[in-house]
Structure 1
Amino acid sequence: MSINFKVLQEKDATTLGLAAMPGVFVLLWSTGFIGAKFGLPYAEPFTFLFIRFVLTLMLLIPLTWLMRISWPSSPRLWKHIAISGLLVHGTYLGGVFYGIYLGMPAGLAALLVGLQPLLTAACAGPLLGERLTKQQWLGLMLGLLGISLVLGSKLELGSTLFSGFGAGALISVMAALLGISLGTLYQKRYCTSMPLLSGAVIQYMAAGGLLGIGALLFESREVTWSTTFMLTLGWLVLILSIAAILLLMALIKKGEASRVASLFYLVPPVTALQAWWLFDERLPLLGLAGMVIAIAGVVMVVRPSTT
C-alpha cells in the first residue's frame, strides 16, 4: 500500500497552522499596546486613533464589498452596532491610548483592561440576568486581589513602572475597562446577528466619529510624520484593525473562537514581556505575583465550571 507523503505533509501543515492561529491572534492583539507606546510621541491620542480609523475604513469598506459580505438587515441593528462600537472601540481604545499618553506603562495598561472578563461577569447578573458560579466568584476575588498587589507594589516600592503618571492616566484606563466591559455586554444582548466584517466597519465609523470630535475639541491635531509613526500606524491599521479581524473570522468559521477567548488572558503577560524588552518597563516581584493571581482569576471566570 502506497503512502502519499505530500498529502500527509500538507494535512499536518494545515493542522499545525490551525493550532497556531489562536496564539498568533493573541500575539498580534498584544502589540496594540506597544503600538500606542511607539506612536503617541508623534500625535495626540484622539488624533492618532482618528487617523487610524480613517485609514482602516479606506481599506476595509472596499474589502467588504469585494468579499460580498452582507450588511446588517435593519436600521435598528445598525444603531445597536454603532453604540457597541462607541463603547468597544471608541471608549476602550480612547481610554487606553490616553492613559498611555499620560504616562501609564503599556504592560500595566494591558493588565488593567485585561480584567474585562471579571467586570463583564460581575455586570452580567444585573444587566443580563446571568448568575455567577462559585468558581466565578472566586475568580473575581482573585482578580481584585491580584490587581491590588500589582498597584500596591508600585506605590510602596516607588517602582519606575508606576512613576510618571497620576490619577488621570488611571481614570482613563479604568474608563477603557468599563467601556469594553459594557460594550461586550451590549453587543451580546443586541448585536448577536451582526455580520463580523461589515459590523466592524459600522463600529469603526462610529468610534472614528467620536474620536474625531474629541480631537477637534481637546487636541491641537498636530502630527509629526516620522518614519516611526508611519510604520506604527501601518502596523496598527493593517495588522491590528484588518488582519486580526480576518484571522478572527477564520477562527470562528473553523469553530476555534472559544480557544481565542481562553487565550486572551495571555495578552497582559505577553504585552509586559514586550514592554520590558522594548521600553525596559519592569514589575517588582510582588507585582509579578499579582499579575499571575489576576490572570488566574480571569481564567476561572471565563472557563466553564467543572462542577
Structure 2
Amino acid sequence: MAAAVPGLFVVIWATGFVTARAVAPLADPLLFTAIRFVGATAVLALIALASRARFPAGGRGWFGPLVAGFLMQGVYLSGVFYAVSHGLPAGIAALVGSLQPLLTASLAGPVLGERVTLRRGVGIALGFLGAAMVLVPKIGVADTSGIPPAGLAICFGAVAALTLGTLWQKRTGGGGDLLANAVLQFLGGAVCALPLALLFGSGHLDPAPALWFGLAWAVLVNSVAGILLLLALIRRGAVAGVASLFFLVPPVSAAMGYVLFGETLTLLQLAGMAVAALGVAVANRG
C-alpha cells in the first residue's frame, strides 16, 4: 500500500487540471479558486489544531509561508484555472506546470548560488525542447488540440509565480512544522485569490451538482488529501519518488482530457511530452 502513495499523489495532482476544465462552464474560475482556498484553509486548520501542529510564534514566522502560498498557491492556481477555463487543454496546462522544476533549476544558480551540473543543464535543455515540440505547432489552431495564445501566456505567468514562490521558500528556509506551514500557505493563497475574484471575476456560479462535486473534489482531494500525502512522503523521505514521477502528470492529465472532454494530442505533441518528461527526469537527477 505504501508503495502506491507516490503514484496516487501524481494522479491526484493530475486531476487538478481536469477539475479546472470540468468546472469551467459552471463557475468563474477566480471565484472558484478563492472558495477552494478558503475551504482548504479551514479544513487543514482543523486538522492542524487536532494534531497540535506548532504554528510559528510572531508575525515574522508567518510571513515566509504566507508569501510562498500567495505565489505558489494563489497566483499559480488562479492562473491555471483561468487559462484552462479559457480553452487551454488540461494536458497542455499540466505540461507547462511540469516545467516548473526546470525553471527553478535554471534560476537556482543566479538566485541561490547553487551550481548547475552538466547533467542538470542537459535536462533543462531537453525539457524546454520537448515543450516547444508540444506547444509551438499548435498555438492558435482552432480545434481540440489547439492552444489559445492568451491562455498559454497566462499559464506560463502562473508557472513563473510558482517558480518564484519555490525560490522564495528555499531562500527563506522551509523549517518549522510542515502541517502548520501548509495551513499558512493555503491562507496566503486565499489572500491572493479573494481580491482577484472580487476585482476581476464575473461572480458567476451555477449551483449545479457537478459544481459542488468539483468544489468538494478540489478542496478535499486536490488540496487537503494532496498536501497530506505530500507531507507523508516527506516524512518517509520519499520526496525523490514524487520528483521522479512528476513528469507523468502531463500524459495522465492528457489522457483524462481525451476521455472526458475529447481533447486530442498529435504524434508530435506526444513525442514532445516524452522528450520533456525525459528532461525533467534527467534534471531531477542532476
TM-score for the superposition, normalised by structure 1? 0.89
Name the aligned partner's letter for residue 260 of structure 1: V
Determine helix, strand or coil for the equivalent of 2:114.
coil
Once residues 157 and 287 of structure 1 are traced to their aligned partners in structure 2, the CA distance between those partners, rounded to angstroms, is 13
Which of residues 167, 171, 174 in structure 1 aligns to 2:153?
A: 171
Once residues 107 and 161 of structure 1 are traced to their aligned partners in structure 2, the CA distance between those partners, rounded to angstroms, is 10
Decide whether aligned partners of structure 1 residues 156 and 100 sit closer, same or farther in structure 2, where only a CA change above 3 A counts: closer
1:258-297, aligned counterparts within 5 Å? 258-297=240-279
Aligned to 2:85: 101
Name the aligned partner's letter for residue 284 of structure 1: T
Count of residue pairs brought into register by the alignment: 286
* CA deviation string 1:85-125 (max 9, x = no partner): 11100111011011111110111010011111110000001
Does 2:59 align with 1:75?
A: yes
Name the aligned partner's letter for residue 297 of structure 1: G
Once residues 77 and 33 of structure 2 are traced to their aligned partners in structure 1, the CA distance between those partners, rounded to angstroms, is 8
Decide whether aligned partners of structure 1 residues 303 and 74 sit closer, same or farther in structure 2, where only a CA change above 3 A counts: farther
Could you tell me how far 1:248 is from its partner in structure 2? 1.5
Does 2:142 align with 1:147?
A: no
Once residues 98 and 281 of structure 1 are traced to their aligned partners in structure 2, the CA distance between those partners, rounded to angstroms, is 18
| Aligned alpha-carbon RMSD (Å) | 1.5
Name the aligned partner's letter for residue 83 of structure 1: V
Once residues 58 and 276 of structure 1 are traced to their aligned partners in structure 2, the CA distance between those partners, rounded to angstroms, is 34
* CA deviation string 1:26-84 (max 9, x = no partner): 11111000011111211111100111111222222111110111112442221111110
Name the aligned partner's letter for residue 231 of structure 1: F
Aligned to 1:43: 27
Which of residues 237, 255, 266 in structure 2 aligns to 1:255?
A: 237
Could you tell me how far 1:168 is from its partner in structure 2? 1.9
Does 2:111 align with 1:91?
A: no
Is the Cα–Cα contact under 8 Å of residues 81 and 194 in structure 1 kept in the other structure?
no
Decide whether aligned partners of structure 1 residues 232 and 269 sit closer, same or farther in structure 2, where only a CA change above 3 A counts: same
Determine helix, strand or coil for the equivalent of 2:88.
coil
1:19-30, aligned counterparts within 5 Å? 19-30=3-14
Task: Give the gaps of 5 or more residues in structure 2.
Answer: none
Once residues 122 and 43 of structure 2 are traced to their aligned partners in structure 1, the CA distance between those partners, rounded to angstroms, is 44
Is the Cα–Cα contact under 8 Å of residues 14 and 253 in structure 2 kept in the other structure?
yes
Name the aligned partner's letter for residue 234 of structure 2: I
Name the aligned partner's letter for residue 211 of structure 2: F
Name which of structure 1's ranges 261-270 and 154-163 shifts more when overlaid on structure 2.
Answer: 154-163
Aligned to 1:234: 216
Once residues 287 and 157 of structure 1 are traced to their aligned partners in structure 2, the CA distance between those partners, rounded to angstroms, is 13
Is the Cα–Cα contact under 8 Å of residues 144 and 262 in structure 2 kept in the other structure?
no
Does 2:115 align with 1:134?
A: no
Name which of structure 1's ranges 115-124 and 179-188 shifts more when overlaid on structure 2.
Answer: 179-188
Q: Percent identity?
A: 43
Is the Cα–Cα contact under 8 Å of residues 71 and 162 in structure 2 kept in the other structure?
yes
Does 2:73 align with 1:56?
A: no
Task: Give the gaps of 5 or more residues in structure 1.
Answer: 1-16
Once residues 32 and 290 of structure 1 are traced to their aligned partners in structure 2, the CA distance between those partners, rounded to angstroms, is 22
Does 2:105 align with 1:124?
A: no
Once residues 169 and 255 of structure 2 are traced to their aligned partners in structure 1, the CA distance between those partners, rounded to angstroms, is 31
Decide whether aligned partners of structure 1 residues 73 and 143 sit closer, same or farther in structure 2, where only a CA change above 3 A counts: same
The structure with the larger Rg is 1
Deviant stretches of 4+, over 3 Å: 155-159
Name the aligned partner's letter for residue 145 of structure 1: L
Is the Cα–Cα contact under 8 Å of residues 159 and 284 in structure 1 kept in the other structure?
no
Could you tell me how far 1:152 is from its partner in structure 2? 2.5
